[in-house]
């Protein structure tokens, strides 16, 4: 099983697409986790975006499950999923942050890289595509 941490936006889409590639190549399933949190700095993925995610996964040849735990800590949910014997790889995105941003808000990605006992694949969207897609989403 490939576990994908989905936070929405261009980074989430990059993780989703790479997760599908990895699951297809390994002939395994995909577990997408998108936590719904009220924490500072947390982006809540709206219902329309999650419907798009489900539609994209349905079009793939990959068996999948979507989990949206409410009020959960994203990193702990992902690590818990990775403790499953079937979990092979974690796919996450990593946004660039300033040193001050890391100090005050922490870095979920950094924490996962250090704490996860299985392989972690960090993906980033194409810069030009990410900028245009995220700008359109904000309008």
Instruction: Please say if the pLDDT value at position 41 is more than 80.
Output: no
pLDDT reported for residue 100 = 55
77-122: pLDDT as tens digits: 999 999 999 999 999 987 665 555 545 445 788 889 999 999 999 9
pLDDT reported for residue 122 = 93
Q: What is the mean pLDDT of residues 22-41?
A: 84
pLDDT reported for residue 110 = 84
Other C-beta atoms within 10 Å of 22: how many?
Answer: 21
Instruction: Please say if the pLDDT value at position 18 is more than 70.
Output: yes
Domain spans of the chain, in order of start: 4-134
Q: Which of 3-7, 12-16, 102-106 has the lowest mean pLDDT?
A: 102-106
Other C-beta atoms within 10 Å of 112: how many?
Answer: 21
Instruction: Please say if the pLDDT value at position 26 is more than 60.
Output: yes
What CATH number matches the domain at 4-134, 3.40.50.10490, 3.40.50.620, 3.30.70.330, 3.40.50.1950? 3.40.50.620
pLDDT reported for residue 108 = 81
- Rounded-to-integer distance, Cα 67 and Cα 45, Å: 12
pLDDT reported for residue 136 = 47
44-88: pLDDT as tens digits: 788 899 999 999 999 999 999 999 988 888 899 999 999 999 999
Instruction: Please say if the pLDDT value at position 29 is more than 90.
Output: yes
């Amino acid at each position: 099983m490939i576990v994908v941490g989905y936070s929405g936006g261009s980074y989430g889409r990059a993780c989703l697409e790479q997760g599908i590639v990895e699951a297809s190549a390994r002939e395994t399933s995909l577990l997408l986790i998108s936590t719904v949190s009220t924490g500072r700095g947390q982006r809540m993925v709206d219902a329309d975006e999650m419907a798009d995610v489900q539609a994209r996964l349905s079009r793939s040849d990959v068996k999948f499950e979507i989990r949206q735990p409410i009020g959960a800590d994203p990193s702990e949910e992902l690590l818990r999923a990775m403790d499953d014997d079937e979990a092979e790889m974690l796919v996450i995105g990593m946004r660039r942050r300033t040193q001050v941003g890391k100090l005050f808000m922490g870095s979920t990605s950094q924490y996962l890289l250090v704490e996860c006992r299985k392989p972690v694949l960090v993906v980033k969207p194409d810069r030009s595509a990410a900028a245009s897609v995220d700008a359109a989403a904000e309008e």
